[in-house]
Structure 1
Amino acid sequence: MAELTEPPEPQKPPTRPGLVRAWGRLPVAVRVLAIYVIARAVTTVLFLMTSAMSGFSSRFGVAPSLVTLVTGWDGQWYWFAALNGYPSVLPLTGAGQVAENPWAFMPIYAYLSNAFGVLLGGWPEGAILVSLAAGYGACLVLYRMLRLRGDDAMATWAVVFFAFGPLAGLFQVAYAETLFLLLLFLALWAVMLRRYAWLYLLIPLMGFTRPGVLAFSLFLALHGVVRWVTRRREALSTAQVVHIVATGLLAAVVGFAWQVIAAVVTGDSSAYLSTELAWRRNWIPGWDGAFLPFDGFVIGAQYWFAQWGLPAWLAVAALVAAVIGAAALLLFEPHVRRLGADIRLWAAAYLVYLLAVFFPQSSLFRLLVPLSPLWGAAAMPRSAWWRAGVVLACLVGQWWWIYNMYGLGNTIWSVP
């Protein structure tokens, strides 16, 4: 007869420390706010360190105030637009070309900051408040978006990486980026939830906050194709088809609307493009070309490789390799694939948009921030060492960016 034995005791799940349990019981909005406040405190310390290290060679001079730093660069243009509006006569350089002017900067952030500035005592205070509040909203919506594609830990760590990221200084400077990110994330979230009606509000707000809504039009076109191809797996109603087509067309119209407004106000049909190209001429003295899609990246790659003493053909080869590498990442990297089709389609559409319209220079770091939903892929590995390493890399990158762009800002490549 078989020997009778006591059945093994059931294994108890490992108990989590009290602080971890308490953290998990907090509302998501509170947890995201705690992460955000700590991240902004760290960034503030980095700005203060930058101020203390700023010297005579710095764009901002010796020991500039925190307000001086965070309202620098493009912040001055938003400030100017808020207080003076947009010129009906385009300023010209000594050579008779259109000079830099406020038409390159969309109005919503400038005027919204001015509205809060009236209440707080000045435009800088209003701009900082708008950037900080919109940044928190963007973090919260990013969590909600990524929670659709993974668990709480993944979404939370993605918010950590985003809030502490290399470009986290943007959360508290007078730039329109965080407001645009909030609107963009809301729009992506609406698409992921198939609540397309929200896009009729969000697309115009995005389009008049900063450039980039044309990328969203391309994204909606790609999204519509994927929804049609996969309609057997996910039902696609006639109403949804109408919404996708209509909002995609709306995004295209809004994407060109600012150019039309600039043309009507100034009487110059090329007012907006000429204004944008004024910045490109700063990088290539003597260049007097017109805007051609995808031309900027080719010219820019050749320009930078020439600065480094490398041949032009290598610049083109590097550009092609970068495009292939980005495509492979979005198509085949397993963590990125788990983010779902919509996030990957947005990333692809936005990268195509940048290739089509942008001249690559140091602002490219900032212009890559709308790809932040991809932080979800970096947050999927559960290794504590990996997560700590990513946060450390983010902090190092953040310090490098703030110090070079704001502490120095005195070389051709240090423009935020």
Structure 2
Amino acid sequence: MAVAELTGVSARSWRALAAPVRIGILYLLSRLVTTGFFIAAAQLSTPASRYGAHPGVPALLMGWDAQWYWFIAVHGYPSTLQVDDAGAVVQNQWAFMPVYPYLARLLGGTGVGWQPAAICISLVAGYLAALVLYALLRPRVGAAVATWAVLLFASAPLAAIFQIGYAESLFLLWLFLALWAVMRRRYGWLYLLVPLMGFTRPGVLAFALMLALHGVHRWLIRRREPLPLRQGLHIVALGLWAAVVGLSWPVIAGAVTGRPDAYLATELSWRAGWGAGAAGGFVPFQAFWQGAAFWLRTWGLGEAAGYVVLAVLLALVAAALLFARRVRRLGVEIRLWSASYLLYLLAVFFPQSSLFRLLVPLSPLWGAVVPRSRVWRFVMLAACLAGQWWWIYTMYAVGNTFWQIP
């Protein structure tokens, strides 16, 4: 329906197309727009930008974390952690998971080259994630709203991640497949999807929490939806499996380097540059409030008033997940995932400019915000594209300061 409105194709002809074709058309159009934004950003980049004047689109697509993934593909992970003059661990490869860079190395080894292979994986995984997202939403909100949700997802302010050398697209594919498996009670698939998620990007501990809450919910509604013993055992085993996978990477890093805190020390090395008190070690939820204090001071706002505003925002988000009708109709699984992932971010993340990118796993919520009005749908699409251009321009064309990190 969305493309029919955009191009004048008859609605009947559009609906007659198979879902993979319709989603593919929307995704391709969105990627062409994003490519145009990157071309413009490369032309507008100046010597003051971290990329320099007119760096070319490939340089933008392979910036920042993409360089770390490339370095992993070429050099692997260090067995000895370097430290600075103060004895603190410096930034290194252990902060990044291995599935994406090694998959790109495998594909690139066929003669494609690592960088084209990495972009290809992001593009293909992004399309497949959009297709699975449609499958997640269509039974809940209908084909038309699900199609618009996918279009907004593919055109969102952070949609550039679908064609840069980052692991987000691949993680979204595993995540959406895992949510689909839970919604369809196909629990057996999760034994494979959980480690794929866990070794692509951090976040599988949030899925472990989601599975625990899902198990409680299945128990509470067992009279309405019977809970066979086999399914109950699967849920418990998978929750433990997800927790083991989520905690295994720090163990692996410690075993390889001989330093038990190798992973945490590496993660804290990124936070240290923000003055977040990394030397004190990791304390759950501490980083969020330290980050909030940092930004409130930076913006010249009173910390007490800022904390009140943050508390109100968190309460509003919780209320929306619990009570908002349009969110509730997405299904309890999407709501539980959204709540679990937000709680995970609050527990482990120091809020900075990358926060917007880290919110992308909440994308199933697009199904709850598609306007009813056709006019407002196009307004929201325009707002998404404007936000996408702002993000690409700010982070790439003129990015040269601490809050311009994609």
Write the letter of the residue equivalent to 2:242. Answer: A
CA deviation after TM superposition for structure 1 residue 83, in Å: 0.4
CA-to-aligned-CA distance 1:182-216 (integer Å, 9 cap, x gap): 00000000000011010000000000000000000
Q: Give 4+ residue runs of structure 1 displaced > 4 Å after superposition.
A: none
The answer to whether the aligner puts 1:346 opposite 2:337 as a matched pair is: yes
Q: Supply the RMSD in Å over aligned alpha carbons.
A: 1.1
Q: Equivalent residues in 2 for 1:241-280 (5 A)?
A: 241-280=232-271
The answer to whether the aligner puts 1:391 opposite 2:381 as a matched pair is: yes
Partner of 1:4: none
Write the letter of the residue equivalent to 2:222. Answer: R
| Alignment partners' CA distance in 2, 1:306 and 1:107 | 37
Partner of 2:61: 70
Residue 330 (structure 1) aligned to one of 321, 331, 338: 321
| Alignment partners' CA distance in 2, 1:225 and 1:319 | 29
CA deviation after TM superposition for structure 1 residue 18, in Å: 6.3
CA-to-aligned-CA distance 1:45-80 (integer Å, 9 cap, x gap): 000000000000101011111111011000000000
Write the letter of the residue equivalent to 1:28. Answer: A
CA deviation after TM superposition for structure 1 residue 313, in Å: 1.6
2:158·2:388 contact (CA, 8 Å) conserved in 1? yes
CA-to-aligned-CA distance 1:161-195 (integer Å, 9 cap, x gap): 00001100000000000000000000000000011
CA-to-aligned-CA distance 1:276-333 (integer Å, 9 cap, x gap): 0000001117752210000010000001000111222223222212211110111122
The answer to whether the aligner puts 1:40 opposite 2:27 as a matched pair is: no
Write the letter of the residue equivalent to 1:108. Answer: V
Residue 340 of structure 2 aligns to a residue whose secondary structure is helix
Partner of 1:401: 391
Residue 52 (structure 2) aligned to one of 30, 38, 61: 61
Bigger-Rg structure (1/2): 1
- Report sequence identity in percent: 58
Partner of 1:3: none
Partner of 1:411: 401
Partner of 1:10: none
| Alignment partners' CA distance in 2, 1:355 and 1:247 | 23
2:276·2:290 contact (CA, 8 Å) conserved in 1? no
Write the letter of the residue equivalent to 1:79. Answer: W
| Alignment partners' CA distance in 1, 2:380 and 2:276 | 39
CA deviation after TM superposition for structure 1 residue 406, in Å: 1.3
Q: Equivalent residues in 2 for 1:19-30 (5 A)?
A: 19-30=10-21
| Alignment partners' CA distance in 1, 2:308 and 2:223 | 41
CA deviation after TM superposition for structure 1 residue 382, in Å: 2.7
The answer to whether the aligner puts 1:158 opposite 2:161 as a matched pair is: no
Residue 288 of structure 1 aligns to a residue whose secondary structure is helix
| Alignment partners' CA distance in 2, 1:264 and 1:414 | 35
1:104·1:276 contact (CA, 8 Å) conserved in 2? yes
Residue 401 of structure 2 aligns to a residue whose secondary structure is coil
Write the letter of the residue equivalent to 2:144. Answer: A
Cα distance change of structure 1 residues 410 and 18 upon mapping to structure 2, 3 Å threshold: closer
TM-score normalised by structure 1 residue count = 0.94
1:335·1:377 contact (CA, 8 Å) conserved in 2? yes
CA-to-aligned-CA distance 1:60-113 (integer Å, 9 cap, x gap): 011111111011000000000110000000011222210000000000001001
1:106·1:209 contact (CA, 8 Å) conserved in 2? yes
| Alignment partners' CA distance in 2, 1:286 and 1:220 | 33
1:120·1:126 contact (CA, 8 Å) conserved in 2? no
The answer to whether the aligner puts 1:355 opposite 2:352 as a matched pair is: no
Write the letter of the residue equivalent to 2:341. Answer: Y
Partner of 1:173: 164
Residue 141 of structure 2 aligns to a residue whose secondary structure is coil
Residue 103 (structure 1) aligned to one of 88, 94, 119: 94
Instruction: Tell me whether 141-150 or 131-140 shows the greater mean CA deviation.
Output: 141-150
Write the letter of the residue equivalent to 1:169. Answer: A
- Note the residue ranges of structure 1 that are not aligned, 5 or more in a row: 1-16
Partner of 1:194: 185
Residue 140 of structure 2 aligns to a residue whose secondary structure is coil
**Number of residue pairs matched?**
399
The answer to whether the aligner puts 1:121 opposite 2:116 as a matched pair is: no
2:276·2:291 contact (CA, 8 Å) conserved in 1? no
Q: Equivalent residues in 2 for 1:219-234 (5 A)?
A: 219-234=210-225
Instruction: Tell me whether 94-103 or 316-325 shows the greater mean CA deviation.
Output: 316-325
Instruction: Tell me whether 154-163 or 318-327 shows the greater mean CA deviation.
Output: 318-327
Instruction: Tell me whether 111-120 or 288-297 shows the greater mean CA deviation.
Output: 111-120
Partner of 2:5: none
Write the letter of the residue equivalent to 2:382. Answer: L
2:269·2:278 contact (CA, 8 Å) conserved in 1? no
2:284·2:348 contact (CA, 8 Å) conserved in 1? yes
Residue 412 of structure 1 aligns to a residue whose secondary structure is coil
2:210·2:340 contact (CA, 8 Å) conserved in 1? yes
| Alignment partners' CA distance in 2, 1:28 and 1:240 | 30
The answer to whether the aligner puts 1:375 opposite 2:362 as a matched pair is: no
Residue 372 of structure 2 aligns to a residue whose secondary structure is coil
